[in-house]
A = this chain, B = another copy of it.
Amino acid sequence: MIEASKSSGKSGIIRYGMIGGGEGAFIGDVHRKAIGLDGKAVLTAGCFSRNYENTLATGEALHLDSERLYKTYTEMAKAEGAREDGIDFVSIATPNNTHYEIAKTFLENGINVVCDKPLTTKSEEADTLTKLAAQKDLLFCVTYTYTGYPAVKHAREMVRRGDIGEIRFVNAEYPQEWLSEPVEKDPNNKQAAWRTDPKQSGIANCTGDIGSHIENLASYITGLEIESLSARLDKVVEGRVLDDNATIMVNYKGGAKGLYWASQIAIGHDNDLKIRVYGSKGAISWKQEDPNYLKVTTLDKPAQTLSRGRDAMYPRPTAVIRTPSGHPEGYFEAFATVYTTFINALAKKKAGGKLTEDDLDFPAPSAGAQGIKFIEKCVESSEKGSAWIKF
């Protein structure tokens, strides 16, 4: 959508590079499509694989200039950091255990970062990245996709403005079925293999992969901070070393309570993230698989189903709506909103603008760090017989 090569001198164009996302990978393409939807940034450089042949082939298929295709991310970070028309940000779509080093390298070379979640495998690393980005005055985004949905943003605003009163209870769940059987033994199922392998996935599987989405979404919508938690992590399918089902009781600061359930063995559920927030005056309910609607009930009125695009929403959610009501927006649009918010902030910053809270409405590295900490505390609690662990 944007012709980058000839516009090196032009202001306003945002260029990005990608680490990972070569042929055979999945999530890198999702990142590219999400950016492509709004067309606000142009892919200019890449190190798509540890295999240079793959990088070259992917780059050619994407019509990239061969001089912007790199053998290593380190080389790329240095070269792009040094170019006048270098990339404005890098998008990291590699396995989790590599995020930290790659993100650090780009930050050190003065390049803004978008990183897939979970941010790192240890909370100290996440904290380091948070600090480094701040030090270098660089923007950093963790792609917690679900915060990009307009209905989620409206839920957040409703809570903030007290529309449902004081929050009392949060019930969030994220059931999936894809690990109901030991599919990691199928040599073709690499996704299952690395998810269930502690060497690649870290200390948790289910709690890390999807439990962290629950934590992030609950935190984003309610603003509540966890004070302590009690977790039971189950290894349901025989032979698993890491959890594939997790139940977590949460106490928030201020007295509200929460209950989270994440599962990869819940047959009948695809990607069924759902959150219900109960306040003293009303409640809201949102379901990722039906994301254009928000159910709102207050004590004095019949249950309402808000339709994105039809019913009045607050300014921030309204700002990220692309289609009229009844024209469903889905996963790519939410992903694109995370990216476009980041890219717009970047463009504004480059142009010397001052970033507002709304400009920065994308998941910061501190949110990523909190996610890692959540995982660590859940594992600790479960190992101690679901003992309550301070956060």
Contact = CB atoms under 8 A, between A and B. Distances in A.
A259 B328 CA distance: 25
A116 B303 CA distance: 31
Contacts of A279: 267
A298 B37 CA distance: 34
A98 interface: no
Contacts of A64: 3
A188 B119 CA distance: 46
Contacts of A180: 280, 299
A245 interface: yes
Given A245-B169, A328-B331, A385-B388, A65 B6 contact: yes
A247 B279 CA distance: 17
Contacts of A268: 278, 282-283, 285, 295, 297, 303
A63 B331 contact: no
A234 interface: yes
Interface residues of A, number: 96
Interface string A295-307: 1111101111111
Given A271-B325, A328-B330, A386-B230, A304 B307 contact: no
A198 interface: no
Number of copies: 4
B278 A267 contact: yes
Interface in A1-59: 1-7, 10, 12-13, 30, 32-33, 35-39, 42-44
22 contacts: A1-B32, A2-B62, A3-B44, A33-B38, A230-B232, A247-B259, A259-B261, A266-B276, A267-B281, A267-B297, A268-B283, A268-B295, A270-B324, A289-B328, A290-B290, A292-B330, A302-B304, A302-B307, A302-B310, A302-B311, A328-B328, A332-B332
Interface of A: 1-7, 10, 12-13, 30, 32-33, 35-39, 42-44, 62-65, 164, 168-169, 171, 173, 176-177, 180-181, 230, 232, 234, 236, 245, 247, 249, 257, 259, 261, 263, 265-272, 276, 278-283, 285, 288-292, 295-299, 301-307, 309-311, 322-333, 385-386, 388
